[in-house]
């Protein structure tokens, strides 16, 4: 993850304390573990805050340009008629995506990560303080566009949504196995472009099933509207299941 690619979220502090990876692989691994353990602790705090209000949180992950924001823009309006919805937008720069969400009438907070290429649980915690959360609602967290390190960072969400545009190629599940392994659902987006690109849906399904048999797969065109009803149904199902889940206050997950 980011310790090795140099994009640690708390960049300045981190580089001051850590030797270069080539100097000590074991030391880097230890720092990586403690960074992730601290993230897991904060993610658990976030999850408890959600659970105390029966809020269901979704972490949206993909490469840049897969259509995450368009999918949200074209679904939060319908969803917000059924339940309270808020959005946290993660990007390195600009608040363009948050503005697009706010234009629908749904509250949104933008996190700019600067050089950081993922959201972490602490950032989400700070963003949550800016939002008026409502019981039984839904929180969407749009992660920074990146199929690598965001897979490692639990944000306290109840489900990970991985979006893959058909323009990216059907072999991406094989190339970014960690990301697809973590997915609760994979949204194959931009299916309206299938006639124009070399993307074998059946083959992609096989790859995903091989890596992660439990992942559901939805075929969607966020711009044309295909599959949006199924996507909203999936969200409602997850939300209903989450609301019905009896709560115990869970201890933070331990990394070994
Ligand atoms: Mg976006
Ligand atoms: Zn990163």
Cβ pair 127, 148 in contact under 8 A: no
Strands across the sheet with 85-91, in order?
108-112, 85-91, 138-142, 56-61, 159-165, 185-189, 216-219
Q: Which ligand is nearest to the CA of 100?
A: 1
Q: Which ligand is nearest to the CA of 91?
A: 1
| Cα distance between residue 35 and residue 39, in whole Å | 6
What's the 6 CA to ligand 2 centre distance in angstroms? 8
What's the 97 CA to ligand 1 centre distance in angstroms? 5
Question: For tokens 């993922």, what's the residue?
Answer: 118
What is the tens place of the pLDDT at every residue in 34-61?
Answer: 899 999 999 999 999 999 999 999 999 9
pLDDT above 80 (res 192): yes
pLDDT for position 11: 41
Question: For tokens 């065109």, what's the residue?
Answer: 221
Cβ pair 92, 126 in contact under 8 A: no
Burial grade of 115 (CB within 10 A; 0-12, 13-18, 19 or more): exposed
What's the 46 CA to ligand 2 centre distance in angstroms? 20
pLDDT for position 16: 31
What's the 194 CA to ligand 1 centre distance in angstroms? 22
| Cα distance between residue 126 and residue 112, in whole Å | 12
pLDDT above 90 (res 136): yes
pLDDT above 70 (res 140): yes
**Strand ranges for 117-209 from DSSP E:** 138-142, 159-165, 185-189
* Closest C-alpha among 242, 243, 236 to residue 82: 236
Q: What average pLDDT does the segment 31-35 reach?
A: 87
What is the tens place of the pLDDT at every residue in 63-119?
Answer: 999 999 999 999 999 999 999 999 999 999 999 999 999 999 999 999 999 999 999
Q: What average pLDDT does the segment 168-182 reach?
A: 98
Q: Which ligand is nearest to the CA of 14?
A: 2
* Closest C-alpha among 232, 231, 254, 253 to residue 46: 253
Give percent of the chain above pLDDT 70: 87
Work out the mean pLDDT of the chain and round it to a whole number.
Answer: 90
What's the 36 CA to ligand 1 centre distance in angstroms? 25
Residues 6 or more apart from 28 whose CB is under 8 A from it? Answer: 3, 4, 18, 19, 21
What's the 107 CA to ligand 2 centre distance in angstroms? 26
What's the 185 CA to ligand 2 centre distance in angstroms? 22
What's the 249 CA to ligand 1 centre distance in angstroms? 33
């Amino acid at each position: 993850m980011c310790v090795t690619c140099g994009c640690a979220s708390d960049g300045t502090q981190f580089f001051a304390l850590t030797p270069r990876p080539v100097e000590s692989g074991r030391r880097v691994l230890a720092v990586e573990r403690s960074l992730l353990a601290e993230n897991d602790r904060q993610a658990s705090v976030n999850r408890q805050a959600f659970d105390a209000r029966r809020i269901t949180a979704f972490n949206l992950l993909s490469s840049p340009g897969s259509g995450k924001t368009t999918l949200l823009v074209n679904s939060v309006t319908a969803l917000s008629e059924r339940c309270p919805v808020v959005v946290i937008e993660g990007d390195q720069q600009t608040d363009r995506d948050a503005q697009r969400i706010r234009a629908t009438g749904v509250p949104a907070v933008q996190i700019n990560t600067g050089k950081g290429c993922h959201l972490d649980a602490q950032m989400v915690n700070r963003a949550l303080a800016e939002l008026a959360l409502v019981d039984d609602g839904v929180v969407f967290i749009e992660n920074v566009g990146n199929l690598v390190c965001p897979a490692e960072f639990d944000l306290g969400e109840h489900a990970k949504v991985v979006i893959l545009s058909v323009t990216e190629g059907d072999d991406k599940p094989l190339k970014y196995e960690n990301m697809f392994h973590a997915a609760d659902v994979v949204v194959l987006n931009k299916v309206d472009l299938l006639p124009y690109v070399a993307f074998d849906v059946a083959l992609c399904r096989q790859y995903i099933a091989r890596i992660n048999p439990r992942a559901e797969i939805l075929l969607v065109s966020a711009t044309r509207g295909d599959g949006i009803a199924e996507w909203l149904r999936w969200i409602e199902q997850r939300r209903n299941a989450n609301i019905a889940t009896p709560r115990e206050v869970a201890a933070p997950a331990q990394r070994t």
